Chain A
Amino acid sequence: MELVCPAGNYPSLVKAVDNGADAVYIGLQNETNARHFAGLNFSEKQIIKAVDYAHTKNCKVYCAINTYPKEKSWARWTNSVDQAIELGIDTLIVADIGVMDYIRSRSNDFPIHLSVQASATNLHALNFYHQNFGIRRAVLPRVLSLKQVSQLAKTAPVEIEVFGFGSLCIMAEGRCYLSSYLTGQSPNTKGVCSPAAFVDWQDKGSILESRLNGLLIDRFSENENAGYPTLCKGRFEIEGKIEHALEEPTSLNTMDILPDLHQSGIAAIKIEGRQRSPAYVAMVTKSWRKAIDHTIRSGNPVPQKEITALADLAEGKQTTIGAYERSWQ
């Protein structure tokens, strides 16, 4: 079972590699990837350095080109594909059918991993991408139960990668337009969700308000932990009640079910968080390396204290197994 870790910049990549990642995933400095944040991602020079460093330590480098190009800006995506391949990237993580088609027009066998943004949640969807583009692996959206994931891992024509830890997207990825409804910018088109440029914090004395493009996402009293206003994790009013209408500010942690994932034949565990610090990447990578090695060696559950320690690093310091567990759904 491969450990795939995030790197938003070169120092994070070094931390991921040094702490035991089998592969690191990165993005270019434009909207071709789903973490198009200011100050993040890799220039051409940095990619050369990154590939060189990772390869000397036997770690692979994947590049996410996983947003959806509009026709007018198509060339930016093909240029990014060309650049990534020429700079020695091992695998491209892709969502758009047109981009996959372009990669196959260049090469019959350059490795393609289907991005979570392609939202493939069943066997026939995976067959589609396998037959048409020869994808090697698919990253599954965070909407399937453990039973469904296990079933897919057994029957799919490709390797299966699942999210293990990090921010929890509760919608089928690639099919959520909530961010552009509010701000005009979405993961699909701009590689952003609830973009920072639209965030406004307003201190109203004992209450702190978070807004996205003017719309109130949440209100925090002084003793509350005020999280980033990701639009699906705020408190809203439904039928007279104020509640986390869609989801609480919680993170995904699947360490509890790691032996099950391993037994199902999952090929890789992905850690979310290219936007997080090098120190965070180091700690999470180290902890997951240890957990995976423990699972492969013993087949036993990961000790609870390891799992709890990891929860402290999570957004809102709250974690869940998410959709893997039916009761969450």
Chain B
Amino acid sequence: MKISVAAVPYFWSKQTYLTFYKKVALSSVDVVYLGETVCSKRRSMKLQDWLDIAVLLADAGKQVVLSTLTLIEAESELNYLKNIASQKNYLIEANDISAVEIASQNNNNFVTGTAINIYNNHSLKKLIDLGMKRWIVPVELGKDDLSPIISFAKQNFIEVEYQIFGRMPLAYSARCFTARHHQMAKDRCQFICSEDEQGILVNTQEGDSFVQINGIQTQSAKVVNLINHTQSLIDSGIDIARIVPISLNDTLNVIEQLSMILQQPEKLNFLPDRLENQYEYCNGYWWQIEGMKYTA
């Protein structure tokens, strides 16, 4: 099973992205997704800055995939998307069906992200015909849902990628929840989300975790953790284990732990104490139950 790192869902500074990806280049990751997927107003990185990082990673032997925005409304967002989806140097992660449309019109291959709803072989087949090469499974599907689709995907040489670590993207809205929490208008947000390295936790009034707000995106409060279940993923035919970044250092630590465990799954276990922060974990979707539940 290969390891991928999804695009950073949070708003980091240019310097932080550079530091992060220089270290990712030295790590044992196979596939790296690059770009802004949540909010078009986040502009610490220009397209050229991402492309410079892409060169750095490609030179280090990583497969680079350029990610695209998930909720696309404005003309300017479409124009930015066109620049990415019509280029020829890198594979594209389509997170909206508009990216599929533009990529296929340009005869470009693409990966579908978690927000493209492929729940059955008939949808998968249609997108394969249009140039799809890899399927990142929608977050709410589990191992039993996947079994009849994975065999079909294999017959069609489609790679299957499943999130093994990180918070799940659970919803997108026109509203910026971070700006709203700070009583700011979205149009004058002052990039307040850049102050939170990994979003803001929302709890119930009893202190149970609920969600994590990250600009217009709502994530699971709990962090998916299937690292001790890599064998179950491999047995199901998952080709790529996807890590969605949390904090910079913890993400790098998770990459290294996962890489070691994949080499010696019988001997090694995931060690949460090695991370700088404490996280609450979940993995229910894989086991076909509530996403927030956790099986150790």
Contact = CB atoms under 8 A, between A and B. Distances in A.
A180 B291 contact: yes
A64 B101 CA distance: 25
A248 to B, nearest CB: 11
Interface string B61-85: 0000000001111110110010000
Interface stretch (A38-46, A121-129, A158-166, A254-262): A121-129
B98 A172 contact: no
A181 B285 CA distance: 8
Contact of B98 (A125, A170, A218, A238): A125
Contacts of B186: 326, 329
A229 to B, nearest CB: 11
Nearest to A245: B202
B122 A101 contact: yes
Contact of B119 (A68, A183, A246): A68
B208 A69 contact: no
Given A128-B101, A188-B117, A329-B186, A237 B170 contact: no
B269 interface: no
A243 interface: yes
A95 interface: yes
B119 A122 contact: no
B123 A183 contact: no
Given A188-B119, A239-B181, A124 B207 contact: no
A157 to B, nearest CB: 12
B205 A329 contact: no
Contacts of B173: 143, 170-172, 246
Given A125-B101, A326-B186, A182 B202 contact: no
A95 B205 CA distance: 36
Secondary structure class of chain A's binding surface, majority of residues: mixed
Contacts of B211: 178, 245-246
Contacts of B177: 245-246
Contacts of B290: 180-184, 213
Interface in A224-262: 232, 234-239, 242-243, 245-247
Contacts of A119: 97, 117
A310 B289 CA distance: 40
Contacts, number: 218
Interface string B118-150: 111111111100000000001111001100110
Interface residues of B, number: 70
Given A177-B168, A238-B200, A323 B205 contact: no
B97 A128 contact: yes
B174 A329 contact: yes
A215 B204 contact: yes
A60 interface: no
B121 A98 contact: yes
A122 B140 contact: no
Contact of A96 (B120, B149, B202): B120
Contacts of A102: 122
Interface stretch (A16-24, A70-78, A263-271, A291-299): A70-78
A144 interface: yes
B171 interface: yes
Contact of A182 (B97, B176, B288, B292): B292
A71 B148 contact: yes
Contacts of B171: 171-172, 175-178, 232
Contacts of B285: 180
A71 B120 contact: yes
Nearest to B291: A181
A140 B126 CA distance: 23
A97 to B, nearest CB: 4
B185 interface: yes
A328 B123 contact: no
A199 interface: no
A132 interface: yes
A327 interface: yes
Contact of B73 (A144, A174, A183, A246): A144
Contacts of B89: none
Contacts of A189: 119, 140
A120 interface: yes
B122 A237 contact: no
Interface string A129-146: 101100000000011110
Given A143-B71, A236-B203, A172 B172 contact: yes
A221 interface: no
B102 interface: yes
Given A180-B140, A181-B168, A246 B218 contact: yes
A236 B200 CA distance: 12
Contacts of B145: 70-72
B72 A125 contact: yes
Given A120-B97, A327-B185, 14 more contacts: A72-B144, A97-B126, A122-B77, A145-B73, A171-B172, A177-B140, A181-B292, A188-B117, A234-B204, A238-B202, A245-B181, A246-B211, A323-B174, A329-B186
Top 9 nearest A-B pairs by Cβ distance? Answer: A98-B122, A124-B98, A143-B174, A181-B291, A98-B123, A128-B101, A323-B174, A68-B119, A176-B171
20 contacts: A70-B119, A101-B122, A101-B123, A102-B122, A122-B73, A122-B96, A125-B98, A142-B174, A143-B173, A148-B74, A175-B115, A180-B285, A181-B290, A184-B288, A235-B205, A237-B202, A243-B181, A245-B181, A246-B211, A327-B185
